[in-house]
Amino acid sequence: MDLDWEQGELAEGLRCYREHKFFEAHEEWESVWLRAPEPEKTFLQGIIQIAAAFHHLQRKNSLGALRLLEGALRRLERYPESFGGLPAAALCDGIRKRLEALRRGASDLEPVRIEPSSPGCSRPPLA
């Protein structure tokens, strides 16, 4: 399955995410996740958890955000450097930085940058 971040629900979710409408981004991406096969399904779950984490931060729930980012990292770090049109390695680096800040007590964090890399980079995850 190709993940096209330039149109449809993925693009709409990305627009919402960039506007810090994290709950709406989560909802858009979930509609794709529900019908996605593996390995894209688990990858999208990690992306959705990033959005949900920042929704929790907007609601002042740092612990919820921490748990969601930990889950996102566990899912995404299994993937190659680039997967599904996104730079998976850069996403993981961004998540790790936010986790460190949350563990130090920070609560006003910039969202992890989710920017499409090159289209059609869908490869299976590493074992």
Domains of the chain, CATH where assigned: 8-103 (1.10.3450.10)
Residue 118 has a pLDDT of 53
Residue 108 has a pLDDT of 86
Whether the predicted pLDDT of 126 surpasses 70:
no
The predicted-structure confidence for 10-44, as pLDDT tens digits, reads as follows: 999 999 999 999 999 999 999 999 999 999 999 99
Residue 121 has a pLDDT of 41
As to burial, measured by CB atoms within 10 angstroms (0-12 exposed, 13-18 middle, 19+ buried), residue 9 is middle
Residue 125 has a pLDDT of 43
Residue 36 has a pLDDT of 98
For residues 101 and 109, the answer to whether their CB atoms sit within 8 Å is yes
The predicted-structure confidence for 66-113, as pLDDT tens digits, reads as follows: 999 999 999 999 999 999 999 999 999 999 999 999 999 998 899 999
Confidence of residue 123 (pLDDT cuts 50, 70, 90): very low
Structure tokens at 107: 């609560």
